[in-house]
Amino acid sequence: MSKVHNFSAGPGILPQEVLQQASEACINFDNLNLSLLEISHRSKNFEKVVEEACALVKELLSLNDNYKVIFLGGGASLQFGMVPYNLLRTEGTAGYLNTGVWASKAIKEAKMIGNVKVVASSEDKKYTYIPKQFPVSGDLDYLHITSNNTIYGTQMKKFPIARCPIVCDMSSDIFSRKVDGKQFGLIYAGAQKNMGPAGTTMVAVDERLLGKTGRSMLSMMDYRVHIKGGSMFNTPPVFPIYVSMLTLRWLKKNGGLEWIEKVNNEKASAMYTEIDRNSMFTGTTEREDRSNMNVTFVMHKPELEPEFDKLWKEANISGIRGHRDVGGYRASLYNALPLESVKALVNVMQEFEKKFA
């Protein structure tokens, strides 16, 4: 079977060794002669999986004992509501930075729960940049930011400094670079980009921030309930958590976030160098805010897109069509994507230029 170069924006590519281990666990997990998919989530065997996954998150993000890690269902979209429900006081105000579709969805949900102030937005230029040097009031309950914008291809290279807790949606660049997690009050991320398959969301929260909203809490929406239950207040998404644990093991084994950041920088550099050199393409975002995870670009002559599509499909490249809100192309360079796949796409872009420039 020929190699497929998988640039899907999500669910994204996973390491081959992780997929192999996960597939074996579906048949015989932990030498139990039972499938991972059919054992009790409260068995000691699976409890060890959750414990290891949480410990690896804390280790990789340099989190101390004030932070609790939980794995939940509902995707990052559920966190758009859970964050303000747990952190926004009934008489308080939360600040939000609007940098794209997912940030704007988070703002919409938070407004249903309490007072929200949009501190800055890049909507004026179709989300092609990251706002900087915006004022952040010290009396905010928290500031919500989105570290990487999958659709528009922008990424925060530096995080804001604020006198209030910072909440960060890291769904599309979690574990892709070295980050000191202690600069955030809460981090959440859907697994399906860099961590595992769709179906679970990781939340890491400074426990000292909880229980101060002044509202009665639904149990399923209360972080404290899930922390107390060890991610098992209700039946957890067993398989996605297990694959996430395997992926975190893979990251640690290969050198952690310092190692993967170097790999990701090399892949992104190769892509952007070709986009800037190639007379047929142009990037869609401000250069200083270009994402290392989602490289967005368009063609100078859109009428030639069918010809380019033919070439990359012949090269066994998959998943590079741009989001409908942006058009053009999007190459997602998640952790497990090898440099050889980036080189394959670069070669196609160069071949296209030779034929049609």
pLDDT, average across residues 206-229: 97
Structure confidence at residue 2 (pLDDT): 64
Q: Catalytic residue positions?
A: 102, 169, 193
Structure confidence at residue 324 (pLDDT): 87
pLDDT, average across residues 210-235: 96
Q: What is the mean pLDDT of the chain?
A: 96
**pTM assigned to the model:** 0.96
pLDDT single digits (tens) 230-285:
999 999 999 999 999 999 999 999 999 999 999 999 999 999 999 999 999 999 99
Bridge-partner residues for 94, per DSSP?
A: 116
pLDDT single digits (tens) 297-336:
999 999 999 999 999 999 999 999 999 888 999 999 999 9
- pLDDT above 60 for 228: yes
Q: Are 18 and 250 in contact (CB under 8 A)?
A: yes
Question: How many secondary structure helices (H) and strands (E) does the chain include?
Answer: 9, 14
Q: How confident is the model at residue 56 (pLDDT cuts 50, 70, 90)?
A: very high
Least confident of 1-15, 202-216, 279-293: 1-15
Helix segments in the chain, DSSP class H: 16-25, 44-60, 75-87, 101-111, 223-228, 238-254, 256-277, 305-314, 339-356
> How far apart are the C-alpha atoms of 260 and 266, rounded to whole Å?
10
pLDDT single digits (tens) 137-151:
889 999 999 999 999
**Residue 97, both tokens:** 């930075």
Which residues, other chains included, contact 212 with Cβ-Cβ below 8 Å and sequence gap of 6+? Answer: 87, 89
Give the domains, in start order, of the chain with CATH numbers. Answer: 16-254 (3.40.640.10), 256-356 (3.90.1150.10)
- pLDDT above 90 for 175: yes
